[in-house]
Structure 1
């Protein structure tokens, strides 16, 4: 556990002098879901993975509202606390918006963004309207309901997010184990926090950006996988045709290859 300006977060750090890549799980996923990806990348990179406040074992402080600025403060706080001068960020779904804001605040520290299943913020708002039950969008009531049913929500989410051909049990077991041991899944908090944000606030993103999109994510069946290009026209979109909502951990070997190529390109482009 390390301290950040918005509260303590749980972190894994392979602690080397290699180029750094930072991952954040998309709840109810936790750090343990990234074991295979960490194993693949550790020989080539310093790998950091941490649970955002409100997810896994990073319990949110009473003042944490899942805003863009608070999420970016968590990201940059981890970099500061671990003395990381610059990094590639591999974030997923809603957490991608915090990565974008962090890159706006500290563009010299974020070398490349690799965002899995992150659409535009407007597209995410429409996704919330379609997928998230109305009570979870209501302050206080949503938090109470979310806490009471977090195990059920975490368990059922994988049946929608993953392709029908993918066995959900290994994903479910890790998420439920975290919750059983004091972890959290603050879905209501992040939904309410990001629904207060406007897409225009992310419109000047200039950091190199790769979007990895799982084409078999049934929850995003109506979402335009290229919608983030509205805010970042320079973004490159890579389709994983056989993946659902978590292409980074559903196909870690293929995703790791993208990360390694970005590391190589970034290192080659650094000033001597």
Structure 2
């Protein structure tokens, strides 16, 4: 918990920058108070089926502009920063554990009074999504993105993260002081099309300059402590689950996406051959077509 207090203190010192940035936010973006603390949300409104996206760090809500435009005519689209990332500040008692992440998602749906939600959550957020499905009755479908099993995710994190980030407090300090170094390196590795690197890097760097949060070290600690046999990871058999998988993600070359069926035997694997780590963001139109095939818009 000391790492969480470190994050809350140091990112709290950037609160003025975040408040100043709000003057430039689009009309559909705001801060809301939830059980996990203040969370940054974009909400198109409307009467269409609800699709909620948990922002996949180091991306920020701006990265979802293409998704919003592709879906807003037929869906109510909600995009939110998880606590400790983007413009959702970390609370001193938020430890990025499986239960904390699941409760944050469930609390957001509760605060917005959303029902019959298709929750789209990628990478480790997908594990939080599984927990949210156990903690809330507001989900109609869970759509995971680049999320294999918890055990596989733990091994993956062990490969891609620097060992120093696993050291409590020192990891948080290194993370905070070098947070602007990660996005350019990350996008260089995980995107399938090199032409997308600048389009992904620029919004992330702009958000960091505006005081956005990036509590990756604490996130790593929370993930490391996840028990792969935790009951929160077991999806309700009646809940439809999809796994959208980008085959061109170099960090997951050896990963078997079917491992997610350890937690959700009903999960269908939807492979996107040309996509990397962010198949929903790398080709929003293709993702929109896939979503419409799973969650049809309301009849006109």
Query: TM tier, shorter chain?
Result: over 0.9
> Are residues 1:223 and 2:252 paired?
no
Aligned pair partner of 2:103 in 73, 76, 95: 73
Q: For residue 84 of structure 1, what is the aligned residue in structure 2?
A: 114
Give distance in 1, aligned partners of 2:277 and 2:195: 11
> Are residues 1:122 and 2:151 paired?
yes
Q: Deviations over 1:230-254 (max 9, x none)?
A: 2211100011111110001001111
Contact 2:49–2:117 (CA under 8 A) maintained in structure 1: yes
> Are residues 1:188 and 2:217 paired?
yes
Q: What is the SS of the residue equivalent to 1:258?
A: helix
| Structure 1 runs not aligned, ≥5 long | none
Give distance in 1, aligned partners of 2:80 and 2:234: 26
Q: Deviations over 1:160-183 (max 9, x none)?
A: 111254430010000000000000
Q: For residue 22 of structure 2, what is the aligned residue in structure 1?
A: none
Give distance in 2, aligned partners of 1:78 and 1:181: 24
> Are residues 1:44 and 2:78 paired?
no
Contact 1:15–1:46 (CA under 8 A) maintained in structure 2: yes
Q: For residue 251 of structure 1, what is the aligned residue in structure 2?
A: 283
Q: Deviations over 1:125-145 (max 9, x none)?
A: 100111101011111111111
Q: Post-superposition shift, 1:211?
A: 0.3
Q: What is the SS of the residue equivalent to 1:259?
A: helix
**TM superposition score normalised by structure 1:** 0.94
Contact 1:4–1:73 (CA under 8 A) maintained in structure 2: no
Q: Post-superposition shift, 1:227?
A: 1.1
Shift of the 126–187 alpha-carbon distance from structure 1 to 2, 3 Å rule, reads same
Aligned pair partner of 1:14 in 33, 39, 44: 44
Q: Post-superposition shift, 1:203?
A: 4.7
Q: Deviations over 1:8-56 (max 9, x none)?
A: 1100011112210100111010111000111111111110000001111
Give distance in 1, aligned partners of 2:267 and 2:125: 17
Q: Post-superposition shift, 1:85?
A: 2.3
Shift of the 87–164 alpha-carbon distance from structure 1 to 2, 3 Å rule, reads closer
Give distance in 2, aligned partners of 1:255 and 1:235: 17
Q: Post-superposition shift, 1:4?
A: 1.1
> Are residues 1:95 and 2:125 paired?
yes
Deviating runs (4+, > 4 A) in structure 1? none
> Are residues 1:213 and 2:248 paired?
no
Q: Deviations over 1:209-232 (max 9, x none)?
A: 100111111111121121111221
| Structure 2 runs not aligned, ≥5 long | 1-30
Out of 147-156 and 256-265, give the one that drifted further: 256-265
Structure 1 vs Structure 2 CA RMSD = 1.5
> Are residues 1:54 and 2:99 paired?
no
Aligned pair partner of 1:64 in 94, 109, 112: 94
Q: Post-superposition shift, 1:257?
A: 1.3
Give distance in 2, aligned partners of 1:196 and 1:204: 17
What is the aligned length?
266
